Amino acid sequence: MRHKARALLVLLCVVIIVSIGVFSNAMSKVENKKEEPGNEIKEIAAEIEDAADAIRSSGDITAIEAYEIAYPKAKEWIPEAKLIDISSTDAGGSPTIKSGMNGKRDAWYVYFGNEEATKTCHILVDKDGVADVHNMEESASSRGLFEISDIKVTFEEAYEIAVEQKGLQPGDPEHPEDWLIGYHYELRYATFQDDDKRLIATVTEISPNGNFAQVTIDQETEEILFAQEKIGYDEDGHSMWGDF
């Protein structure tokens, strides 16, 4: 009887050892599958599609929504991507005089770089997703890099400031001299006197005087730095600007 019990015990141990080996082999295959490069690419593609789906049928999009679509694509080229510039564009859309109201547009350029100043990624985003991508082995990061979390004044808020405080008007497609249509926006670093570098939001269009104009807002103080309009040209053909 003791021999039978011992034999059963030995058999049980063998079964347990074999089971552990099979489980370990299966887990190893799962881990290897996770590490396959193709899986990461599929995950990135899924992130882009999910972000696009969320706003695809909602009309115009915000700059932050455009960033959320563009960022996963930029990471394919620049894993440590940071922002250089976000700006609205008439490209690829059907702008009207109402375009840009409330800080939204149907198309944006989102520009990324890295701290090492070795790569840039320029992405055109519209309400349908990523429309165009240009990857380059060069950089404009000397202009200044920033994170989306650095934004204190959104373009929705910048629109209200420019319209309510400065009376900025939209560009009219019926007036080609207005150059741009609706309201346009840009977010980037700018360098002023004494190497004073600031993150700014700019709203561009027409002053109450009917001139091409820009309202520039400091992201740190959340106040207008200046509001200027083009008032003509000097004798050398250079644009002249004045406050309004």
Sequence spans of domains, the chain: 58-243
Mean pLDDT taken over the chain:
82
Residue 6: predicted pLDDT: 43
pLDDT digits (tens, 9 = 90+) for 106-128: 999 999 999 988 999 999 999 89
Q: Tell whether the model's pLDDT for residue 92 goes beyond 50.
A: yes
**pTM confidence score:** 0.73
pLDDT at 53: 47
**How many Å apart are CA 48 and CA 68, to the nearest integer?**
8
The predicted structure's pLDDT at residue 43: 58
Average pLDDT for 186-205: 94
What does the alpha-carbon distance between residue 125 and residue 68 come to, in Å, rounded to a whole number?
10
Question: Residue 1 above 70 pLDDT?
Answer: no
Helix, strand, coil shares of the chain as percentages rounded to 5?
A: 40, 30, 30
- The whole-number pLDDT of residue 240 equals 96
Whole-number pLDDT of residue 193: 87
Q: Which residue has the tokens 């599609």?
A: 49
Which residues, other chains included, contact 144 with Cβ-Cβ below 8 Å and sequence gap of 6+? 84, 188, 189, 197, 199
Q: How do residues 203-215 score in pLDDT, each as one tens digit?
A: 999 999 999 999 9
The tokens describing 27, both together, are: 């887990």
- What average pLDDT score do residues 152-156 get? 97
User: CB of 146 within 8 A of CB of 181?
Assistant: no
Q: Which residue has the higher pLDDT, 53 or 73?
A: 73
Predicted confidence (pLDDT) at residue 52 exceeds the cutoff of 60:
no
- For Cα atoms 35, 41, 44, give the angle at the middle one, nearest 5 degrees: 115
**pLDDT-derived band at 22, boundaries 50, 70, 90:** very low
Q: Residue 176: its pLDDT value, please? A: 76
Mean pLDDT in residue range 29-42: 48
Q: pLDDT band at residue 175, thresholds of 50, 70 and 90?
A: confident
Residue 217 has pLDDT above 80, yes or no: yes
Alpha-helical runs (H) found in the chain: 2-35, 37-55, 63-77, 155-166
Using CA atoms, how far apart are residues 145 and 141, in angstroms rounded to an integer?
A: 6
DSSP classification of residue 62 = -
